[in-house]
């Protein structure tokens, strides 16, 4: 009888410890899992992956030497193509998209194939170059090539000054 009572106390304690360990993560919001395909030699891609990890994303990286066929398969139009390509909750994430835009996309769930930061904008996450900051947009895209501005980054008026 006494041993049984002790055992149940241990169980309750174990459960409390488990709750405490899980609690804080649940409070910080959802942790998204993203798959990323990148060329093995792409260093800015690697920086973007590390940035996403710091931002709390769970990243699975696939080294892919042939990125263009993969982009075509995933429905990334050439006009919005960049270096790496990601996939999260069914959306394609193309290039150096900021984490805040990915979170906004996943919260708002707009109808689109994915979200891109076309090209390789200087100053975007993973493309940091000593204080330089090119203004850039992220765009929603569809496989048929249609796009729509999603968010603007950088100060256009400041960038226009000499
Ligand atoms: Cu890049």
Residue 98 belongs to a domain with what CATH number? Answer: 3.40.30
Residue 11 within a domain = no
Degrees to nearest 5, angle at CA 158 with 155 and 159: 80
Spacing, Cα 119 to ligand 1 middle (Å): 8
The CA–CA distances, whole Å, from 93 to 14, 106, 115, 129, 155 equal 40, 11, 5, 22, 23
> 81 alpha carbon to ligand 1 midpoint, in Å?
11
10 within some domain: no
Q: Is residue 20 part of a domain?
A: no
47 occurs within a structural domain: yes
List CB-based neighbours of ion ligand 1 within 5 Å.
44, 83, 120
85 CA distance to ligand 1 middle (Å): 10
Nearest to 116 by CA among 155, 60, 77: 77
Inform me whether the pLDDT recorded for 7 exceeds 70: no
Burial of residue 120, with CB atoms counted within 10 A of its CB: 0-12 exposed, 13-18 middle, 19 or more buried: middle
**Distance (Å) from CA 162 to ligand 1 centroid:** 27
**pLDDT higher than threshold 70 for residue 23:** no
Q: Is residue 69 part of a domain?
A: yes
Q: Is 74 helix (H, G, I), strand (E, B) or coil?
A: helix
Q: Which two tokens stand for residue 109?
A: 């769930």
Number of domains observed in the structure of the chain: 1
pLDDT tens by residue, 88-120:
999 999 999 999 999 999 999 999 999 999 999
Structural domain includes residue 138: yes
Write down the mean pLDDT value for the chain.
Answer: 86
User: What is the pTM assigned to this prediction?
Assistant: 0.79
97 φ, ψ (degrees, to nearest 5)? -75, 130
Range of the domain at 35: 30-160
Do residues 96 and 82 touch, judged by C-beta distance below 8 A? yes
Classify residue 104: in a domain, yes or no: yes
Confidence of residue 140 (pLDDT cuts 50, 70, 90): very high
- The alpha carbon of 11 and the centre of ligand 1 are apart by a number of angstroms equal to 50
Tell me, yes or no, whether 23 lies in a domain.
no
Q: How far does the centroid of ligand 1 lie from the alpha carbon of residue 29, in Å?
A: 28
**Is pLDDT larger for residue 130 or for residue 71?**
71
């Amino acid at each position: 009888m006494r041993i049984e009572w002790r055992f149940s106390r241990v169980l309750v304690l174990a459960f409390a410890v488990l709750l405490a360990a899980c609690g804080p993560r649940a409070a910080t919001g959802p942790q998204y899992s993203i798959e990323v395909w990148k060329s093995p030699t792409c260093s800015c891609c690697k920086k973007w992956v590390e940035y996403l990890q710091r931002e709390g994303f769970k990243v699975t990286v696939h080294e892919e030497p042939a990125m263009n066929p993969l982009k075509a398969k995933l429905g990334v139009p050439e006009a919005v193509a960049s270096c790496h390509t990601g996939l999260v909750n069914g959306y394609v994430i193309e290039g150096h998209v900021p984490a805040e835009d990915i979170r906004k996309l996943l919260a708002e769930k707009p109808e689109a194939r994915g979200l891109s930061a076309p090209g390789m904008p200087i100053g975007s996450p993973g493309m940091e170059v000593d204080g330089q900051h090119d203004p850039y947009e992220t765009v929603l895209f569809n496989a048929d090539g249609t796009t729509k501005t999603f968010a603007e980054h950088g100060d256009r008026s400041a960038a226009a000054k000499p």
